[in-house]
Amino acid sequence: MRCLVVEDEPNTSRYLCNGLHTAGFVAVPCGNAVEAQQLVDASAWDVVILDRLLPGSTDGMALLERMRARGDRTPVLMLSALGSTDERVHGLRCGADDYLVKPFSLDELLARVEALTRRRPTGNGETRLQVADLQLDLRSQRVTRNGCPILLQPREFRLLEYLMRHEGQVVTRSMLLESVWEYHFDPQTNVIDVQISRLRNKVDKEFDVALIHTVRGVGYRLSAVAGDRGA
Amino acid sequence: MPDIRRSVVTQLLLGYGLLVATSIAVVSLVFYFGTMGVLQQNVDRRLIYIANREIRFNMDHPGALAREIDRQLGDSINSDTEIFQLLSSRGQRIVGNLDTWPSLPDRGPVTAHVLRYGRPALARLLRISLLDGDTLIVGWELSEQELIGRLVLRSLAAGALISLLLIFGGALFFRHLIEHPIAVMRRTAHEIEAGDLSRRIPVASSDEFGRLAMDINRMLDRIEQLMDGVLHVSNAIAHDLRTPLSRIRSRLEEAVRSGDGAGSPGEAAVAAIGEIDELILVFEKLLQIAQAESGVHANAFEPVDIRRVARDMADLYDASAEAAGVQLRAVDGGPVLALGDRNLIANALASLIDNAIKYSGPDSTVEVRAVHAGEHVFLEVLDDGPGIPEAELPRVTTRFYRIDQSRNLPGNGLGLSIVSAIASLHGGRLALLNTGRGLLARIVLPHQPAG
What is the ipTM score, two decimals?
0.80
pLDDT at B236: 62
Mean pLDDT of A7-17: 90
Residues A179 and A166: their CA atoms lie apart, in Å, by: 12
**Is residue B242's pLDDT more than 80?**
no
pLDDT at A208: 86
Contact B447, B376 (CB under 8 A): yes
CB pairs under 8 A between A and B: 73
pLDDT digits (tens, 9 = 90+) for B377-418: 999 999 988 877 777 777 776 656 665 555 455 555 667 877
Peptide bond into A103 cis (omega under 30): yes
Q: How far is A188 from chain B (nearest CA, A)?
A: 8
CB count within 10 Å of CB B408 equals 7
Q: Which residue of A has its CA nearest to B301?
A: A86
CA A26 to centroid of chain Cα atoms: 18
Q: Which residue of A has its CA nearest to B298?
A: A86
Give the closest residue to B250 by CA, choosing from B238, B240, B239, B262.
B262
When CB atoms are compared, the residue of B312, B322, B341 closest to A198 is B322
CA B192 to centroid of chain Cα atoms: 21
Neighboring chain A residues of B274 at a CB cutoff of 8 Å: 217
pLDDT at A47: 93
B299 inside 8 A of chain A by CB: yes
Residues B13 and B175: their CA atoms lie apart, in Å, by: 8
A-contacting residues in B 188-207 (Cβ below 8 Å): none
Contact B423, B443 (CB under 8 A): yes
A191 inside 8 A of chain B by CB: yes
Q: Which amino acid is at A140?
A: S
- Do the chains contact at A85 and B344, CB–CB below 8 Å? yes
Domains, chain B, ordered by start: 4-150 (3.30.450), 208-294 (1.10.287), 298-446 (3.30.565.10)
Mean pLDDT of B434-450: 87
Neighboring chain A residues of B270 at a CB cutoff of 8 Å: 217
pLDDT digits (tens, 9 = 90+) for B304-339: 999 999 999 999 999 999 999 999 999 888 888 998
- Do the chains contact at A183 and B316, CB–CB below 8 Å? yes
B287 inside 8 A of chain A by CB: yes
Residues B447 and B25: their CA atoms lie apart, in Å, by: 68
B266 inside 8 A of chain A by CB: no
User: In B34-45, which positions are buried (b, 16+ CB within 10 angstroms) versus exposed (e)?
Assistant: ebbeebbeebee
Residues 6+ apart with CB under 8 A from B22: none
When CB atoms are compared, the residue of A103, A105, A183 closest to B343 is A183
When CB atoms are compared, the residue of B285, B317, B342 closest to A191 is B317
Banded pLDDT at B358 (limits 50, 70, 90) = confident
B320 inside 8 A of chain A by CB: yes
Max CA separation in chain A (angstroms):
60
Residues B285 and A187: their CA atoms lie apart, in Å, by: 11
**Is residue B427's pLDDT more than 50?**
yes
Residues B244 and B278: their CA atoms lie apart, in Å, by: 9
pLDDT at B260: 53
pLDDT at A227: 62
Banded pLDDT at B221 (limits 50, 70, 90) = confident
A109 compared with B242, residue with greater pLDDT: A109
* Secondary structure percentages of chain A, helix, strand, coil, to 5: 40, 20, 40
Mean pLDDT is highest, among B166-175, B208-217, B404-413, for B208-217
Domains, chain A, ordered by start: 2-117 (3.40.50.2300), 128-222 (1.10.10.10)
**Is residue A143's pLDDT more than 90?**
yes
B92 compared with B368, residue with greater pLDDT: B368
Mean pLDDT of A139-146: 91
Contact B337, B450 (CB under 8 A): yes
Q: How far is B433 from chain A (nearest CA, A)?
A: 24
Q: How many CA atoms lie within 13 A of B276 on its CB side?
A: 13
Using left for φ > 0, alpha for ψ between -120 and 50, and beta otherwise, residue B283 falls in: alpha
**Is residue B248's pLDDT more than 90?**
no
Q: Identify the bridge partners of residue A3 per DSSP, sorted by sequence position.
A: A27, A47
A201 inside 8 A of chain B by CB: no
Mutation for testing the B interface, residue in A100, A181, A191 having most B CBs under 10 Å? A191
Q: Which amino acid is at B430?
A: L
Which class for A158: exposed (0-12), middle (13-18), buried (19 or more C-beta within 10 A)?
A: middle
pLDDT at B312: 93
- Do the chains contact at B343 and A185, CB–CB below 8 Å? yes
Q: Which of A148-162, B96-110, B132-146 has the lowest mean pLDDT?
A: B96-110
pLDDT at B276: 83
3-state secondary structure of A130: strand
When CB atoms are compared, the residue of B281, B285, B296 closest to A84 is B296
**Is residue B101's pLDDT more than 90?**
no
3-state secondary structure of A186: coil
Mean pLDDT of A52-71: 85
Mean pLDDT of A24-47: 89
Which class for B120: exposed (0-12), middle (13-18), buried (19 or more C-beta within 10 A)?
A: exposed
A70 inside 8 A of chain B by CB: no
